[in-house]
Each structure stands twice: as C-alpha cells, then as structure tokens.
C-alpha cells in the first residue's frame, strides 16, 4: 500500500474485511483514506481499496450498503470467507446525497472527532504503530485524545464509549429486533464480544451464568441471545469461537449468514491463539482498551513460528507483526488486576495457564504447562534441524564432474510439481510429498545417488484469474504464493535439493519451452488451423473440453460457446501409435494405461461413401464419407447423421428446414464435446431436408443433424444402424426412424427390443441390385467382405481412426509463454525467431484483463507487438496468444537434471545418467492430459536426439485422496422431530441437519444419536474443499503436533494409493507414539517440562532376543518401504518400541539401528536422537541397516500336545527338540501334567515341529 491518501478504487472485485487475525497484519505504511460511518453506530475504515471493520456493532454487510462518504457508497453483493479471511464482493456507486449520507441527527460531535482521530493516526503512524484502531461498543459520543495515548513509546490507545441513559432502551430494542430478524431469516449469528458491564446494561442484567463478571472479554455463545447480540466485534471474524467453527459467510437479502460446525470441546484451549495480539480490558466505567503491538523483526526463537526465513522477509502476507516483547508474542485476554510484564505489556492470564510472553518470569508457569502437554519438544527440534539441513545443503545433489560419483546407481524420484495457489497447501498435498521423501531418504541411505527436486508450475489461467480478481499483477501473486508454498514445504522437512528449484514463469526456463516449440515447428508438428473451439467471452480465452461443464466454464461458471478460430495446433496424432504401443513398457497402474488407451481410441473400420440426393432421388452433387467400425452392418443403416459443424451441411439444408437447422447449430455451439458425447444425455437432432443413397442397397435414407456426432472425429458423419448401436437406437425411437436387424446373436435369440451391439450371424444382408450378399456370415468375416467390396467398387476404403485430436495449443490470455514467432506486415507470412533471440520475454502490462473482443491482452502491449523482421528489417508483429499452462509441465523433469545450463536444454551426459524418472508420484487427475502431453514431447525430443529414452517416467504412483473428517447428518420432519435415515416413511419432506461428532455413537455398523439410538444417521467423508469448510491447514497441524507427526500420520492412515479419511484422533495417536519413542531414548521430562541432554541408552551388548526383535523390524521396514506399504512399515516400528519398553536396558547399537529405520519417516526426531547418542554426521549420510538372516530364524516354536488324539494344550520347544525332551516339557507343564501324572504311557507319536501325541495306558 502507498503512503499517500488516494481515492478508493472503483473496480469490481473482492473487498477484504479486516478482523482479529488479519487486522494486525496491516502494513505500517498503510494510510487511512476515509472513515465510513453508518447510522446505528456501525463504523468501518477504508484503507486504500480495503474496508476494515474493527469497531463493533452489526456487520456492515447486514445492511447491504456501506457509505463511503463523498457521495459514494459501497454496495455489498456477497460475502465469502476464504482461508479464514472475510471477503466482501460488491461495487461502488454514487449515492448522490453528499458526504454526510447516512449520518443521523446529533452525531456532529462524531464528525469533529474524526479530525482528531486522523491526527492521532498520523502520529501513531510516524511512531511505527498500527493505524486507526478505534473502538467504541455503542454510540461514540465522547472522545478524549488526551487520555490513554502513550506515543511514541507507549503500546496502547484508550477510547471511552458511554451510552446515554435516554438512549439505552432504544439501543437495546434496536439490537433485539436485529437479532430476531436474523434468527427468523435463518442466519447463524455466532457470538459477539463486549465488556461485562455494557452487556449487562444492554441486556437488563439477564446474562447467562457462564458469563462471569471477573472474566474478560465476555463471550455470548451461539444460540444465547440475552437481549440480542450486544455490539462488539463479530466473532465470525476469528473463524473459531468456543466449540463453534465458522465454515462460510454469505450475504442474502442484506443479511449476513454464517455457516458453522461444532468442534470437540477439547479444542477450546486453542481459542486464545486466535486472538493473537488483541487484549480487550474492561473496567466499571465501561471503558474499552485496545493494546496494540509494535512491529519489529522476528526474534531467533525455538518455536517454529519464529524460525528465520531463509529467503528473507515474511513468507506469509497475512502474518501478524511481532509484539513489543523482545522474544515472542504477547500474553492474551488479560485481567485488569494482574501485574504487567517487564516489557510494559499486560500480564499473562492465570485462567489460561499463563501467557505466551517468554521475556518475563510471569510466563514461566504457562510455558512449563504447555511443554508438559507435548509428547516431545518438536517445536524446538524441527526448526533446528531444518536450519541445519539448509545451512549445510545436506540434500544437495552434485553435478557430474563436480563431485557426483557416477559409479553408484541412481534414483530419480519426482513429485508432480504443484501450481502455487493463493490458498497454500492443505493436508492432502503432503501425502505424495511425504511418500517421495521417504523413498528419497531410503535410497540415499542405501547408497544411491538421489535426485529429488521441487519447482513450480506457475503459468496459467488460475493465476491470471486470481490476479484479475484482486487487481494484483500475476507476477507478484505468483512470487508471493511460491514463497508461501516453499516455506510450508520446508516446515515439513522434505529433503528436496533446493539448488535445483525452477519455476515455469522464469525467462531462463521458458526460453527452452520456446526452443522446443521451434523444434516442433521445424518438423511440421506445430501448425495453425481454423478449428471450432470452446470460447468463453467472460474469461476471454479458449478452453479445453475438460474445462467446460454443462455449457459453462469450470472456473467461474461463465457461459461458453463453440466458434471457429484460427489457433496454434500440435500434431500429437502423428505419434498416436507410438503413444499407444509404448504403454506396455511402463510400470504404471493399469487403470491409468487403460485411460490413455481409451483417450487415444484407436479403432479399425472403413470409410464408406454415400451420395447425397433430394427427396425425389436426384443427385445433389455431394458425396458424404462416413466412418464406421462395423461395415458388416451396412444393410441396417436407416439414416445418416452429420455433425452440426460438418463442412457440407450448409449445402444440404433444404429451404423448409433451414431455420430449424440453423437454430440447432446455434444451440449446439453452447455445448462442449464432452457434454455432446455424454451417454446419459438425451439425444437431440433435426432433419436436414436431404437424403443419402446407401451404396449397398441403393435405397435412400434421410440425413439428420445431431450433436452426438462430432466434426472432429472420423469424418464428422456416420451411417446410423439403430438395431445395433445404443445411441442410434435411442435417437431412432425418439424420432420414429426405421430399425432393421441385420445381426443375430450366436444363440439365435434376437427378440430383444434393445440394440444388440455384439458380433453374431448376419441376417437381412443381401441385395440383388448391388450383388453384395453377406447373409449367414460371421460378423468379422462379413466386415472384411464389405470392406473389400467397397474398395473394389470405389465406394470406400479400409481406415484406421483415432479419438485423439491434435492438441489445441494457444490461449488468448496474458500469463503464459509467448510464442517465438512474428508475422510480416506486408505478406502476413509467419516467421520463427532465431534461437539466439530466445527467450522472448513477456512484457509488463498494467492492464492484463481480457479485451472482450477475442483479441488477447498482449495486443495492448503495442510497443512489444510491433517489431521488425531481422533479415529484411521490414515491419512485423508478434503473436499475441500465449501457450497453455501444459507447456511448461511437459518437460520440467529434464530441466531439473541441469537447471543452470544456459546453452542447452539439458546436458547429454546428465540426461543419460539421470533419465528416465524412476519414480513419479502425483494425482490420478493427471492421468491423461499432462502425462500424455509429456510423453508426446519426450518422444519428439527422443527423435531429435535430446533425450536417450523413449519414455519420461518409468514408474508411476498415484496417491489417494485425503478426505475431510466424517460428517454426520440427520433428518428432521416439518415439526422438528428426528427421523431415522432408514425410516420406511418418506424422507422427501424432511430436511437434513448436521450433527456434531460428540453427539454421535456407533452401534454395530451404523451411527446413531447418543441420546436416541433409534435415530440412525448418515455418515460420509467428503473431499476437502473451502466451500465445505473441511480443509485442514498443515500449518495448524505442524504447530500443534509437529511436522514428524503429520508425516507419520499421513503414511499410517492406510495404503498410499487408497483414499483415506482425516481424523484428529488418529494424529494424536501417532503423536503419542513419537513421544514414547522420544522417552525410550531420552527418558522422562524434568519437573519444568524440559529434557536433559542425557539418554537412557547403554553400551551393553544386546541380547539374542533383542537382536531378533531388531532384525525382524529391519527386514519388515525395508520390504514395506520398497513396496510403498508405509503404513505397515510404521506398524512394524510401533511393535519394536512396544517390545523395547519391556527390556531392562536399551543397547546403543540396537537403538541406533532403530533410529536409522525411523529417519525416513520422522527425520527431525531421528536426527535429534542420533545427535544425542553422540553422532556428529547427519543421518542422510548413514547406511540403512540390513536384516541379518541368522537373527530372522525363529529358534523356538509352539508345539501342540494331544492326549489320546485330543489337543489339550501347547508347549514352547526348541526347533531341534528331541522326542524325549518334548515329552519331559509336556509332563512338567501345569495344564498337561494332570493328564499324565500317575499313568503309564502306552505310546508316543512325535512329528518334529508339528505335534506330540501321548496315549496313556
């Protein structure tokens, strides 16, 4: 933000509303532009183009209008909450009623106050304080700037707000009415905060018992409306209050509606952290005081939040500034009676177990209690080892010729690099990243050279659209998002080689994307053509078929139409057969390979020629080529269908049908190809008015136009055989067209009314006029005969076809790679740039919004567009479309091998050593497009000698989804009574209601209400999404449990490839396991909650039993990692820890081996324990243990013992136990001896290792 006051922007877009967490993140350079005031005590502050609202009263969105002064107002159209930030969507309008619009009579004193407040703000600003933080609960009628203002070195500002007695009842009635309206309308207002005296005053003293006078601030919980919501700051602004979690905020008819979900009450302890640097105090004089933090650089601290950022500066644009305390955040929610801390801030709150201020003794008790709750000190360990790895470049992979030992085997392990969105990571992202990190660490410790890099797929439509919505250049948002992603990934301890980091938006990278395009152009694989495309006017670009759903864009829901445009295309169809055949060589999931086979869609058939005629049979001078995979069914063709975009259609439309056909063509233009070919969609069409002659029968059949036939597949025309094709059958029934059966099932049953699409025996398939007769032949033989007949008679030919289309390779957007071509002005000839002219960089544009005319935004960069042809010097212009976001991701795995090479895409020696990628991990959603496009480019690069392998990715692993926590819903009837989900009565008239997890129990296989086991509930886990409010931020999990706990839990949830449901209880269990592991080595904590530097480990030699337990664990963990069964590997380590706790001593050699096993999964803890055991070298350089076979053999076995042939028990014996020894052990066994004592033995039957059968006399 700038430092000078400026008029607020009048552009459409989101307006961010500040609240507790976000308010403190304001830059100290922010400037107050104007103060907004609404009738009824509502106030807001407009800072640049952002409306800030910390002042209490109803949410401005409740009125739908925020007065902006100066004859302007802001109309609120919608309110959304995204990542904990409330966004107001709306528009500025001229109110036409002057700058005092909305001010009520008797408020002139407040206007005078504004001037004083602005003066105060400027002084606070110069002193380095946050600005314009003003507070009044109800009716600001008195303001004294001489009291409570301690600057430049004081940390707080005080305001007084007193409600005149004569206004009290009116204010109370007004608020009660507002609250009742909200309740009536169904709005979920959670809570409001205000000092006790004012709450009691407004509510007539009728406050609930849990709101006590000695606590502050006072919290009025959801559902409790004692006199209405009594002013103060809206609790929805902090996302969580008590056990209520805000999931969404919407405005409807001027009312703010807050969606919410219940959280477990034990989470209430985290409430304080949500208030960050806000401390609200109260006294009997009804004074509200705000203590403001002074910004200062982060201090070197042991907590993860204060770990220094290696990139410099803050990675989180919304991070709160540090407090005036020299070591950490200030205490929160403080009573007026407590002593202040030595830094001048209010004291810690004993009701909350002490504060967070670590600069004074008052906080020591709170810190000790917090440490005692942790299973182990992860917040000290993890930042320390992350700094160590970074400072020592532990995971750096040297280049060939610069320290890389190429005699060692290599392993290239790669994640599908992410698009860095503004939302950051959620807990689903680390699933795949953790798996590759485990494999990378494991392979390093096995002696492999490991290449494990990370980068950013940062070009594309999402980044540009976000930039348009926020008014921020995509270069800025992309860089900010990358910084956040990088910081989050580093906080999870992944062993990436950050020296190889790349971004597709860097000119040094996309220089080689442009170079690859020039190679495609040279070989005729890139060309321009007029093709029908999905055009979205609102987004101003062409969209891929996969980006269009139900006629609107997937992003934004904007209408999409089909229209012809000249576009860049890549001839991927030239590689169709190789893309298909080479799938067999890949170690990929069979489902993914099958999806690619279906996408390529190779089919063999024939092209047949039908001549067009009018209804009298007169030749119209046009021949229609139809493609069919079933030429044997030609005698059953009863009509022909043309795609609406067929090139001959306009000449075949009769005058009677022209209006109908043109209307249908226009309707089809609004649909994507995926919609048109949806098998579930009702078939539609229109008669063209013309006919076609069947070459086999000589009969004329009608020509129809239907959208289920695509102009881009085959010839854009089909012969319809409704008896043997389900789509044709449905169409024929709808439009009452003839259906002729020509194939009989092999079992002879042809009475079915459905279409029979399988092979069989031909019937009704002969013609005396053409001489073709295939009656009685098998379908395959008949198809061959028909194909030979049409070729011999000039009616067609054999044809191989593909569903795969050439790749539409252009977008009419700004944020993408520029095409390295120019066009001469005089001839319009297209000329490629010379390689020494690369990269052609993207120009800086202030206005990068779509033009709305179909012209790309780059047309606005006139100085950049205008150029000259290098050889002749004649005027030329640049291409203004850009490449799609797929371009940069097609080859990034190659650049990681040689990221700094300025002279070539990748060095041949490096590519030959590292290629192909050994293990590639990513989501199944990329199964077709990205993987197919990357394979295509790789094969082109193979053909021109850039790469040495035919395929880019040797082994592919698709990780499953992590779903949100299970949600429970129940039904209520129109009287509000519960109705069981398995009720026999109709549930249509019932409505569903979410049920908190703490009110649910499981009975058998079903979930029911705790209070009524007869009410069965629906239980379902959904994919994480912001709209459902079930997204889990990994930063929060790391803060509460540590990165190692998150890593371990995500691997322990279930098989890597399966979808899994998140459970907070589950991560707590894994956290406890790590705590047990920590105490196994370090011992129990000291009284203050800290741990000493010693260990419980001894130098004693391990026992045979200990070695067997260890090597069994080694063997299992090794095998499970190799098979990516990480959950069972963790189970094996848990079993080891359980066994080790039973030992009298912990031999160092055994514990060290176990730490090596643990290190790929929980690297921070493992490094710390390794170091505490006296080792100075990082575990990354140690050797992974190997299980020794001599300890894997079981020395004892359980032997069943039978008496008279009936099993009476078992005994434990050595494997080599003799018959006599086995009998003696059985005879002395307490349970068995009673069957043998005092009895002679008639016979003994002994099978070593299997059974002992004793037969007494």
Q: How far, in Å, CA of 1047 to CA of 846, rounded?
A: 42
Does residue 850 carry a pLDDT above 70?
yes
In the predicted model, is pLDDT for residue 1095 greater than 70?
yes
CATH of the domain at 1133: 1.10.730.10
SS3 of 733-780: HHHCCCCCCCEECCCCCCCCCCCCCCCCEECCCECCCCCCECCCCEHH
Average pLDDT over residues 142-153: 30
The SS3 assignment for 964 reads coil
pLDDT tens, position by position, 275-313: 222 222 222 222 222 222 222 222 333 333 333 333 333
Burial of 950 (0-12, 13-18, 19+ CB in 10 A): middle
Do 638 and 733 fall within a single domain? yes
Same domain, 789 and 812: no
SS3 content of the chain, % helix, strand, coil (to 5): 30, 20, 45
Question: Which domain CATH number covers 700?
Answer: 3.90.740.10
Q: Which residues pair with 46 in a beta bridge?
A: 34, 51
- Note whether 161 and 136 are within 8 A (CB): yes
Domain boundary, last residue among 234, 262, 290: 262
Whether residue 775 sits in one domain with residue 715: yes
791 and 813 inside one domain:
no
Q: How confident is the model at residue 115 (pLDDT cuts 50, 70, 90)?
A: very low
Angstrom distance (rounded) from CA 315 to CA 305: 11
Distance (Å, rounded) from C-alpha 382 to C-alpha 329? 20
Q: Does 814 share its domain with 687?
A: no
Exposed e or buried b for every residue in 323-361, given b needs 16+ CB within 10 A? bbbebbbbbbbbbeebeebeeebbbbbeebbbbbbbbbe
Q: Residues 553, 663: one domain?
A: no
Mean pLDDT throughout 923-932? 89
C-alpha 425, offset from chain centre:
7
Confidence of residue 725 (pLDDT cuts 50, 70, 90): very high
Q: Which of 1031, 1050, 1080 is the last residue of a domain?
A: 1031
pLDDT of residue 164: 55
336 phi and psi, to 5 degrees?
-70, -20
Q: Give the chain's mean pLDDT.
A: 75
395 touches 445 (CB < 8 A): no
Beta bridge partners of 798: 606
Torsion angles phi and psi, residue 868, rounded to 5: -130, 150
Q: Name the pLDDT band for 175 (thresholds 50, 70, 90).
A: low
The DSSP symbol for 1016 reads: B
Q: How far apart are alpha carbons 704 and 646 in whole angstroms?
A: 12
Highest mean pLDDT among 122-136, 229-243, 267-281, 429-443: 429-443
Residue with token string 């020039």: 518
Question: pLDDT higher for 152 or 1239?
Answer: 1239
Phi, psi of 44 (to 5 degrees): -150, 160
Q: What is the mean pLDDT of residues 478-492?
A: 95
Residue 1066 shares a structural domain with residue 1183: yes
In the predicted model, what is the mean pLDDT of residues 126-139? 26
Mean pLDDT of 155-177: 49
Please tell me the predicted confidence (pLDDT) of residue 405.
95
Last residue of a domain, one of 885, 909, 943: 885
| Same domain flag for 1048 and 1153 | yes
Kindly report which listed range (338-342, 433-437, 723-727, 790-794) carries the lowest average pLDDT score: 338-342
997 domain residue, yes or no: yes
Written as one string, the DSSP assignment of 807-875 is: EE--BSSSSSPBPSEEEETTT--EEEPPGGG---PPPP-S--S--SSS--GGGG-HHHHEEE-TTT--E
Q: Which of 77-81, 192-196, 581-585, 806-810 has the highest mean pLDDT?
A: 581-585
Does 904 fall in a domain? Answer: no
Report yes or no on 1215 lying in a domain.
yes
For 446, phi and psi rounded to 5 degrees?
-90, 0
Task: Kindly state the DSSP code that residue 54 receives in the 8-state scheme.
Answer: -
Within-domain flag for 483? no
Number of domains in the chain: 7
Lowest mean pLDDT among 156-170, 462-476, 838-852, 1008-1022: 156-170
Partners of residue 762 on adjacent β-strands? 743
Is residue 966 scored above 70 in pLDDT?
Answer: yes
Task: Looking at the structure, tell me whether residues 683 and 777 fall in a common domain.
Answer: yes
Q: Is the residue at 1049 inside a domain?
A: yes
Position 79 scores a pLDDT of: 52
Same domain, 755 and 859: no
Task: Give the model's pLDDT for residue 170.
Answer: 66
Q: Which has the closest alpha carbon to 243: 263, 266, 214?
A: 263
Question: How crowded is residue 908: how many other Cβ atoms within 10 Å of its Cβ?
Answer: 13
DSSP state of 359: T
What is the radius of gyration, based on Cα positions, of the chain? 37
130 belongs to a structural domain: no
Q: By mean pLDDT, which of 112-116, 252-256, 1198-1202 is the weakest? A: 112-116
Strand ranges across the sheet with 953-958: 449-451, 410-415, 917-922, 953-958
What does the pLDDT read at residue 47? 34
Average pLDDT (1216-1239) is 88
- Considering only residues 581 and 352, tell me which one the structure prediction assigns the higher pLDDT: 581
Give the pTM: 0.68
How large is the average pLDDT for residues 1218-1242? 88
| Predicted local confidence at residue 80, as pLDDT | 52
- Whether residue 1077 is predicted with pLDDT greater than 50 in this model: the reply is yes
Contact 583, 598 (CB under 8 A): no
pLDDT in tens, 652-702: 999 999 999 999 998 888 777 777 877 677 899 999 999 999 999 999 999
Please give the pLDDT value at position 18.
Answer: 30
Pair 1120, 1132: CB distance under 8 Å: yes
Helices (H) and strands (E) in the chain, counts: 33, 54
The mean pLDDT value for 1061-1083 works out to 93
> DSSP label at 435?
H
CATH assignment of the domain containing 169:
3.30.980.10
Based on the fold, state whether residues 1039 and 999 are members of the same structural domain.
Answer: no
Res 226 pLDDT > 80: no
- The CATH number for 66's domain is 2.40.30.130
- Low-confidence winner among 841-845, 978-982, 1042-1046 (lowest mean pLDDT): 978-982
Between residues 205 and 560, the one the model is more confident about: 560
Three-state secondary structure along 117-170? Answer: HHHHHHHHHHCCCCCCCCCCCCCCCCCCCCCCCCCCCCCEEEEECCCCHHHHHH
Residue in the block written with tokens 């001549």: 611
Rounded Cα distance between 887 and 504, Å, is: 9
Tokens 């060309």 -> residue: 527
Residue 183 domain boundaries: 152-262
Per the domain annotation, does 274 fall within a domain? no
Residues in contact with 237: Cβ distance below 8 Å, sequence separation at least 6, in sequence order: 17, 19, 20, 86
Confidence at residue 675, expressed as pLDDT on a 0 to 100 scale: 76
Average pLDDT over residues 1020-1041: 87
Angle in degrees, 0-180, between the axes of helices 1034-1041 and 474-491, rounded to the nearest 10: 30
Residue 381 has a pLDDT of 95
Together in a domain, 212 and 236: yes
Supply the pLDDT for residue 558.
Answer: 84
What does the DSSP 8-state code read for residue 569?
E
Q: What is the mean pLDDT of the segment spanning 85-108? A: 39
Band of pLDDT at residue 1244, cut at 50, 70 and 90: very high
What are 784-802's pLDDT values in tens digits? 999 999 999 999 999 999 9
Asked if residue 797 belongs to a domain, the reply is: yes
Q: What is the pLDDT of residues 412-446, one digit of tens each?
A: 999 999 999 888 888 889 999 999 999 999 999 99
Average pLDDT score over residue span 732-739:
96
Coil/strand/helix, residue 589: coil
């Amino acid at each position: 933000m700038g430092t000078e006051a400026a008029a607020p922007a009048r552009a459409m877009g989101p307006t961010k509303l500040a609240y507790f967490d976000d308010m403190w993140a304001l830059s100290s350079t922010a400037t107050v532009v104007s103060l907004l005031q609404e009738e009824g005590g509502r106030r807001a502050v407009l800072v640049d183009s952002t409306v800030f609202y910390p002042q209490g009263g109803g949410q401005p969105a409740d009125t739908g209008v925020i007065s902006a002064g100066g004859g302007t107002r802001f109309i609120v159209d919608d309110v959304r909450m995204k990542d904990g930030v409330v966004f107001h969507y709306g528009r500025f309008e001229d109110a036409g009623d002057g700058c005092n619009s909305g001010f009520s009579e008797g408020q002139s004193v407040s206007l005078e106050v504004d001037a004083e407040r602005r003066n105060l703000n400027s002084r606070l600003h110069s002193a380095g304080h946050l600005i314009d933080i003003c507070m009044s609960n109800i009716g600001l009628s008195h303001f004294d700037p001489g009291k409570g203002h301690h600057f430049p070195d004081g940390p707080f500002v005080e305001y007084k707000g007193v409600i005149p007695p004569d206004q009290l009842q009116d204010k109370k009635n007004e608020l009660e009415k507002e609250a009742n309206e909200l309740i009536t309308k169904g709005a979920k207002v959670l809570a409001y905060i205000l000092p006790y005296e004012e709450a009691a005053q407004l509510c007539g003293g009728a406050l609930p018992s849990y709101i006590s006078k000695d606590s502050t601030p006072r919290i009025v919980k959801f559902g409790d409306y004692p006199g209405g919501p009594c002013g103060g700051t809206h609790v929805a602004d902090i996302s969580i209050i008590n056990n209520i979690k805000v999931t969404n905020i919407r405005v409807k008819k001027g009312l703010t509606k807050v969606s919410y979900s219940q959280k477990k009450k034990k989470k209430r302890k985290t409430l304080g952290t949500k208030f960050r640097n806000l401390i609200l105090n109260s006294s009997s004089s009804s004074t509200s005081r705000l203590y403001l933090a002074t910004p200062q650089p982060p201090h070197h601290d042991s907590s993860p939040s204060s770990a220094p950022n290696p990139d410099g500066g803050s990675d989180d644009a919304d991070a709160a500034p540090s407090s005036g305390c020299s070591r950490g955040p200030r205490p929160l929610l403080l009573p007026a009676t407590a002593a202040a801390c030595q830094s001048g801030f209010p004291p810690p709150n004993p009701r909350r177990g002490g504060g967070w201020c670590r600069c004074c003794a008052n906080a020591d008790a709170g810190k000790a209690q917090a440490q005692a709750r942790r299973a182990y000190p992860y917040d000290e360990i993890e930042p320390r080892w992350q700094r160590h790895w970074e400072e020592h470049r532990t995971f750096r992979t040297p280049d060939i010729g610069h320290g890389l030992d190429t005699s060692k085997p290599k392993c290239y392990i790669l994640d599908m690099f992410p698009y860095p969105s503004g939302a950051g990571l959620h807990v689903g992202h680390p699933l795949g990243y953790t798996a590759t990190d485990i494999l990378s660490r494991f392979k390093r410790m096995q002696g492999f050279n490991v290449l494990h890099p990370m980068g950013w797929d940062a070009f594309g439509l999402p980044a540009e659209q976000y930039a348009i919505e926020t008014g921020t250049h995509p270069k800025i948002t992309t860089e900010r998002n990358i910084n956040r992603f990088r910081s989050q990934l580093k906080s999870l301890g992944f062993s990436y080689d950050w020296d190889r980091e790349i971004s597709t938006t860097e000119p040094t990278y996309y220089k080689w994307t442009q170079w690859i395009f020039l190679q495609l152009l040279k070989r005729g694989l890139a060309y321009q053509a007029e093709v029908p495309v999905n055009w979205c006017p609102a987004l101003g670009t062409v969209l891929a078929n996969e980006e269009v759903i139900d006629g609107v864009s997937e992003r934004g829901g904007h209408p999409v139409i089909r229209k012809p445009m000249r576009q860049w295309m890549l001839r991927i169809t030239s590689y169709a057969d190789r893309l298909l055949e080479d799938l067999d060589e890949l170690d990929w999931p069979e489902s993914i390979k099958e999806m690619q086979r279906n996408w390529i869609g190779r089919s063999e058939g024939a092209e047949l020629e039908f001549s067009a005629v009018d209804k009298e049979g007169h030749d119209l001078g046009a021949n229609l080529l139809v493609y069919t995979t079933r030429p044997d069914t030609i005698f059953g063709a009863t009509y022909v269908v043309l795609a609406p975009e067929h090139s001959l259609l306009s000449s075949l439309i009769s005058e009677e049908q022209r209006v109908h056909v043109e209307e249908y063509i226009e309707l089809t233009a609004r649909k994507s190809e995926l919609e048109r070919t949806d098998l579930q969609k009702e078939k539609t069409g229109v008669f063209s008015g013309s006919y076609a002659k069947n070459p086999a029968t000589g009969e004329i059949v009608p020509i129809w136009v239907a959208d289920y036939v695509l102009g881009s597949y085959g010839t854009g025309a089909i012969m319809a055989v409704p008896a043997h094709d389900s789509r044709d059958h449905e169409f024929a029934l709808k439009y009452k067209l003839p259906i002729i059966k020509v194939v009989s099932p092999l079992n002879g049953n042809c009475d079915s009314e459905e279409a029979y699409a399988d092979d069989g025996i031909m019937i009704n398939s002969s013609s005396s006029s053409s001489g073709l007769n295939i009656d009685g032949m098998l379908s395959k033989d008949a198809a061959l005969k028909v194909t030979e007949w049409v070729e011999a008679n000039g009616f067609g030919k054999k044809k191989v076809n593909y569903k795969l289309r050439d790749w539409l390779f252009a977008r009419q957007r700004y944020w993408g790679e520029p095409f390295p071509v120019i066009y001469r002005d005089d001839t319009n000839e297209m000329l490629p740039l010379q390689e020494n002219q690369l990269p052609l960089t993207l120009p800086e544009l202030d206005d990068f919004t779509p033009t709305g005319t179909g012209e790309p935004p780059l047309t606005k960069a006139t100085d950049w567009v205008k150029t000259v042809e290098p050889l002749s010097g004649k005027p030329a212009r640049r291409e203004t479309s850009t490449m799609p976001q797929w371009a940069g991701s097609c080859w990034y795995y190659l650049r990681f091998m040689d990221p700094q090479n300025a002279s070539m895409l990748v060095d041949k020696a490096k590519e030959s050593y590292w290629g192909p990628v050994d293990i590639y991990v990513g989501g199944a959603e990329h199964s077709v497009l990205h993987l197919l496009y990357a394979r295509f480019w790789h094969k082109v690069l193979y053909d021109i000698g850039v790469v040495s392998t035919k395929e880019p990715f040797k082994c592919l692993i698709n990780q499953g989804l992590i779903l949100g926590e299970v949600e429970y819903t129940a039904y209520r009837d129109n009287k509000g009574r519960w109705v069981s989900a398995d009720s026999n009565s109709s549930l249509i008239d019932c409505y569903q209601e979410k049920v908190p997890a703490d009110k649910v129990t499981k009975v058998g296989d079903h979930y029911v209400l705790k209070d009524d086991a007869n009410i069965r509930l629906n239980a379902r886990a959904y994919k994480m999404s912001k709209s459902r409010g079930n997204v889990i931020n990994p930063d929060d999990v790391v803060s509460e449990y540590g990165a190692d706990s998150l890593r371990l839990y995500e691997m322990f949830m279930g098989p890597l490839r399966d979808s899994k449901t998140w459970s907070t209880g589950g991560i707590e269990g894994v956290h406890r396991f790590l705590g047990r592991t920590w105490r196994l080595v370090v011992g129990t904590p000291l009284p203050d909650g800290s741990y000493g530097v010693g260990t419980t480990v001894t130098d004693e030699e391990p026992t045979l039993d200990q070695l067997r337990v260890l090597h069994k664990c080694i063997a299992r963990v090794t095998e499970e990692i190799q098979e990516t069964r990480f959950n069972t590997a963790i189970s094996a380590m848990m079993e080891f820890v359980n066994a080790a706790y039973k030992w009298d001593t912990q031999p160092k050699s055994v514990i060290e081996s176990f730490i090596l096993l643990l290190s790929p999964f929980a690297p921070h803890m493992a490094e710390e324990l390794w170091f505490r055991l006296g080792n100075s070298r990082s575990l990354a350089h140690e050797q992974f243990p190997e299980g020794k076979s001599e300890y894997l053999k079981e020395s004892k076995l359980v032997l069943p013992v039978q008496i008279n042939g009936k099993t009476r028990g078992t005994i434990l014996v050595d494997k080599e136990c003799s018959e006599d020894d086995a009998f003696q052990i059985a005879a002395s066994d307490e349970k068995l001896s009673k069957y043998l004592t005092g009895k002679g033995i008639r016979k003994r039957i002994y099978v070593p290792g299997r059974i002992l059968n004793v037969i007494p006399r």
